[in-house]
Structures are given as C-alpha cells and as structure tokens.
Amino acid sequence: MPVLMFCNKCGTPKKLSEYVLSQYVTKAPHIYCDQCDSTNSVTEELRQYAFQVKESDNW
C-alpha cells in the first residue's frame, strides 16, 4: 500500500511505494521533495511503519 509524505516546505505530496519504504525509508535520514528539492526528515513513526510493512510482506 502506498504512503503519502508531504513536503515540509511546499506541501507537495510524495507517493512512497512499498519498494521505496523497504529499500530507502528504512535506511535514509531524509527524502527529497520532487517539486522544490528540499529535504524532509524521515520521522521515527514512518521508519517504524516501513519496518512493519517490510516484516509483514516478508521483504
């Protein structure tokens, strides 16, 4: 299931696929906005959710 993350600077939503959640969000400290190129911190809640999805889908 995709997750939406909103940019802290411009408010543009970014769709995070299961692949991005499993391969990037579980490891990276931030995600770049596609609209304004600002960095957005990966929150601990999002990181924990990514690990839960990863475990439940046996990635």
Q: How far is residue 23 CA from its own chain's centroid? A: 10
Helix (H, G, I), strand (E, B) or coil at 54: helix
What pLDDT does 50 receive?
A: 85
What pLDDT does 1 receive?
A: 65
pTM exceeds 0.75, yes or no: no
Residues of the chain with pLDDT under 70: 1, 57-59
Average per-residue pLDDT for the chain: 87
DSSP state of 35: T
Longest dimension (CA), the chain: 35
Angstrom distance (rounded) from CA 59 to CA 37:
29
Yes or no: say if 38 and 8 are a contact pair by the CB < 8 Å rule: yes
Yes or no: say if 6 and 13 are a contact pair by the CB < 8 Å rule: yes
